[in-house]
Amino acid sequence: MKAHEGNLRGFESHTLRRFDVGEKSGPEGSGYPDGRALLNAAPTERAVVDDYERTGETEAQKLDRNWDELLQELRVSQTGVQILTGFLLTLPLQPKFAELSDFQRSSYVVAISLSILATCLLVTPVSMHRLLFRRRRKASLVRVGGFVAQVGLAILAMGTSAVATLIFGIIFGERTGLLAGAVTLLVFAVAWLALPLAMRRSGHSTGGS
């Protein structure tokens, strides 16, 4: 009986120690034979949530998930580009529009052209999905739709920069307008391009998303 109780206490101590501090049974000392990060970590250790791996996910499930994530991204970006395009389309109806200089008119034409193009590109994946519905082309939709969305976001950034050039040009003059447009484009480049690339380089890939 004493031997049995001693074995039981030893097993409980081993189990608690394994889940509190992590037993080095895997390559990364995660407490699992394959070394995967422990998502539901104990309060005494920091849970690693960036480097995780989905198990048991088929290729079809992965494509469905990627497509759903793309649609969520498009919903966010479409709201912004639609508001921007609607605002620009109403400007020629304003009484003061006829008083704009050649520079300001050129800025407007560039801005509205880029905004319309961005609207088209960011809605394109939806049209692609409708035309290819039930044709087993989900992989192509995810790949091409993701590329079109990236191009659409780049065009949207340039269109917003052109709007900044127009507005600041009307208020403060051409030089200030050009400076404001350049600064706006730089901010978009840092926030939408440089920051995600820096995060991707500093992270550890687990092999596909």
Is the pTM above the cut of 0.95? no
d(CA 177, CA 102): 13
- Domain residue limits, the chain: 1-53, 59-202
| DSSP 3-state of 108 | helix
Answer whether 74's CB lies under 8 Å from 122's CB.
Answer: yes
pLDDT tens digits for range 49-79: 556 667 777 888 888 999 999 999 999 998 8
pLDDT tens digits for range 116-130: 999 999 999 999 999
